[in-house]
Amino acid sequence: MIEIRGLGMYFGKFQALSNVSLSVEAGEKVVICGPSGSGKSTLIRCINRLEEHSSGQLFVDGVEIGEETRNIRNVRMEIGMVFQQFNLFPHLTVLDNLTVGPVRVRKMSRRDAERRARKYLQRVHIPEQADKYPSQLSGGQQQRVAIARSLCMEPKIMLFDEPTSALDPEMINEVLDVMVELASTGMTMICVTHEMGFARKVADKMVFMEEGEIIETAPPEEFFNHPRSKRCQMFLDKVLEH
């Protein structure tokens, strides 16, 4: 589904990614972790080309992403993205946040889009909030709306960039629960998160990054019980302390 080969990425002179390779099968769940500034966000943002890589190759569903990609929009339609800061459209109601993509991009009728929106609001357990504005919801609710907004495009892949980091502790689980349920539907998911409980539960593959490189890739048991690199071990000790 996603094939990354020797990816490099620069912000001006600063190298944010170097020689990153990773492949993700359809239906696979990958959890990426690593210290702050290690390039986790940059990596997943390259996948839907919010950042442009400068070397290496990147394929999504068989299409190479790069300068030559004729229609990046066709690729983006198949990739949902959930941000740390939700990024809901504050001037639109929850329902409009959900229907705007299908109506504008997928050219769906308003009625069908609304039916679909309500279906996914149900899926994230807030069917009753459809007519409110984002600012009237709690953080956890907002993030679930953001997940539903992505799902309304019925993508093949979902990217999550620290979806619970901006939330109060008591709201983290309601979002993680939705993500676990989503995982069980067979969605291909790449999650940047430090929620190791969640990672243990759903991950097929763990990825540890540091200073723009992938240091370790392993199945969860191996990753948590016998990490090969010392840096990964130190990182896990720190995260698991809490």
Ligand X SMILES: Nc1ncnc2c1ncn2[C@@H]1O[C@H](COP(=O)(O)OP(=O)(O)OP(=O)(O)O)[C@@H](O)[C@H]1O
How far apart (Å, rounded) are the C-alpha atoms in residues 111 and 74?
A: 23
In this chain, which stretch among 34-42, 144-152, 169-177, 180-188 interacts with ligand X, using CB under 6 A?
34-42
* Residue with Cβ nearer other proteins (63 or 77): 77
Task: Report if residue 141 touches ligand X, rule: CB under 6 A.
Answer: no
Residue number closest to Mg ion, CB atom? 41
Shortest Å distance, C-beta 12 to ligand X: 7
Specify the residue, 157 or 232, whose C-beta has the smaller distance to other proteins: 157
53 belongs to the binding site for ligand X (CB under 6 A): no
Q: Which of 96, 88, 149 lies closest to 121 in space, CA to CA?
A: 149
Using CA atoms, how far apart are residues 242 and 205, in angstroms rounded to an integer? 22
* Residues ≥6 apart with Cβ < 8 Å to 239: 33, 194, 196
Which residues, including other chains, have CB under 8 Å from residue 185's CB and lie 6 or more apart? none
Query: Should residue 16 be labelled a site residue for ligand X when binding is judged by CB under 6 A?
Result: yes
Q: How far apart (Å, rounded) are the C-alpha atoms in residues 185 and 30?
A: 15
Considering the complex, state which of residue 48 and residue 141 has its C-beta at the smaller distance from other proteins: 48
Site of interaction with ligand X (CB under 6 A): 11, 14, 16, 34, 36-42
